[in-house]
């Protein structure tokens, strides 16, 4: 049987009654769109974070897109972010007509090199968009300083960092807004697509609610600024409500998987994930590094172990972003990393026996290189 890098079927078997009850709750509620489940989940997700507002949307990409618009990012504005991220971070910036400006990453944590941000700011910069990548937080203190100095918005991409903390502070509670995805693989995952934005400002929250609802107030049928249809689905919202109280347990299970890897793979020459000072990692993915990456992947595939790469192509090297004119070689750490990283199986219900087989095969493969 193929060992997959992510799987939800064991979790579903354990939670099946609750998930199906969530579906039944919505179907029999008499209200299938923007009902009690969406509004309830928004309250509970905001409360988990101690934030005043949460606005549920249809996916993480639109969470970023609508948040950028609500924060006042306009066509032609610049948004500072990283190229070592999931493409949707950059797709969302592009979709509002703004220009992504990339800084390089830290060679150990693979997170945004915050020391490079100030020099990336120009007269057109409107927003800083750090990505809490792989499950650990970017230190936002230096970004807050730059944002305050230049009057910029700070938007956190939290799609990979539900429950992650820096110096005890939860991801998504420092910036002006924070975008979450509930894509099934994420640390808090739906059974389909979903997303949300945490927001501090009342006006920004009100703008977000209009932006996801054609540009209208929910009970006032006039469009003042045309928006989108980007509502969180009621069924997914109810499922997320059921899963939110288990978020800390999912994270604990992921940490146990990470610890088992750290013990099992010590001394093999594989570079294991580095924790930045002050960080509590939630291990959305378990990313390791080795210069012989492609040979390792090939050998593991022969043992029916299917690994993933997050991400094989830095966004600025993708053909769809050639128009940005960011030449190859301009982000050396990002570019050299892309050829060396790969992700080991990681999900809360990963069985220790399955994990031990992955560790055993990896040790053999590495020893034979």
Ligand X SMILES: *Cc1c(COP(=O)(O)O)cnc(C)c1O
In the complex, the residues that contact ligand X under the rule CB under 6 A are 59-61, 85-86, 88-89, 131, 157, 159-160, 181, 183, 193, 195
* Least distance in angstroms from the C-beta of 160 to ligand X: 5
Choose between 109 and 160: whose C-beta lies nearer to ligand X: 160
Q: How far is the CB of 159 from ligand X (least distance, A)?
A: 3
Tokens of 5: 């890098």
Pair of tokens at residue 138: 């970017």
3-state DSSP percent of the chain in helix, strand and coil, to 5: 40, 15, 40
| Residue closer to ligand X (CB basis): 64 or 307 | 64
Query: How near is the Cβ of 86 to ligand X at its closest, in Å?
Result: 4
**Nearer CB in complex with ligand X: 182/261:** 182
Which residues, at least 6 apart from 221, have a Cβ–Cβ distance to it below 8 Å? none
* Beta strand 125-128 pairing with 99-103: unpaired
Considering the complex, state which of residue 183 and residue 347 has its C-beta at the smaller distance from ligand X: 183
- For the bound state, the minimum distance from the C-beta of residue 283 to ligand X, rounded and expressed in Å, comes to 14
Task: Report the residue closest to ligand X, judged by CB.
Answer: 60
Least spacing, CB of residue 45 vs ligand X, in Å? 15
Q: Which of residues 70 and 359 has its CB atom nearest to ligand X in the complex?
A: 70
Cβ proximity to ligand X: between 85 and 355 the closer is 85
β-pairing verdict for 195-199 and 53-57: antiparallel
Q: Which two tokens stand for residue 139?
A: 């230190």
Question: 63: which 2 tokens?
Answer: 């969470």
Peptide bond into 9 cis (omega under 30): no
Rounded distance between C-alpha atoms, residue 324 and residue 99, angstroms: 8
d(CA 57, CA 47): 17
CB 237 within 8 A of CB 38: yes
Residue 83: other Cβ atoms inside 10 A: 27
Cβ atoms of residues 67 and 89 within 8 Å: no
Q: How far is the CB of 221 from ligand X (least distance, A)?
A: 28
């Amino acid at each position: 049987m193929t060992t997959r890098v992510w799987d939800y079927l064991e979790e579903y078997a354990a939670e099946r009654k609750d998930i199906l009850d969530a579906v039944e709750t919505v179907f029999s509620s008499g209200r299938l769109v923007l009902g009690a489940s969406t509004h309830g989940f928004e309250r509970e997700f905001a409360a988990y974070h101690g934030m005043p507002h949460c606005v549920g949307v249809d996916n993480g990409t639109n969470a970023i897109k609508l948040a950028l618009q609500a924060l006042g990012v306009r066509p032609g504005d610049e948004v500072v972010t990283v190229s070592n991220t999931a493409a949707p971070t950059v797709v969302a910036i592009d979709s509002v007509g703004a220009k992504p400006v990339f800084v390089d990453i830290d060679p150990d944590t693979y997170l945004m090199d915050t020391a490079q941000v100030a020099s990336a700011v120009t007269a057109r910069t409107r927003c800083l968009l750090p990505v809490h990548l792989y499950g650990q937080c970017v230190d936002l203190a230096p970004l807050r300083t730059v944002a305050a100095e230049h009057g910029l918005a700070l938007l956190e991409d939290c799609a990979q960092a539900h429950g992650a903390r820096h110096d005890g502070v939860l991801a998504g509670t420092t910036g002006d807004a924070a975008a979450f995805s509930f894509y099934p693989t994420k640390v808090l995952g739906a059974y389909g697509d979903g997303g949300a934005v945490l927001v501090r400002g009342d006006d920004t929250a009100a703008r977000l609610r209009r932006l996801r609802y054609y540009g209208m107030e929910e009970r006032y049928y006039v469009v003042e600024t045309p928006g989108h249809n980007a509502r969180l689905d009621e069924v997914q919202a109810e499922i997320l409500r059921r899963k939110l109280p288990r978020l800390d347990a999912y994270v604990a299970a992921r940490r146990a998987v990470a610890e088992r890897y750290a013990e099992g793979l010590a001394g093999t020459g594989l570079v294991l994930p580095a924790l930045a000072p002050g960080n509590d990692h939630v291990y959305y993915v378990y990313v390791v590094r080795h210069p012989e990456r492609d040979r390792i992947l090939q050998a593991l595939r022969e043992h029916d172990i299917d690994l993933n790469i997050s991400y094989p192509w830095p966004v600025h090297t993708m053909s769809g972003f050639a128009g940005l004119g960011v030449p190859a070689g301009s982000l050396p750490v990002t570019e050299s990393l892309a050829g060396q990283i790969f992700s080991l199986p990681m999900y809360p219900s990963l069985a220790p026996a399955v994990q031990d087989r992955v560790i055993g095969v990896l040790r053999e493969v590495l020893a034979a290189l």
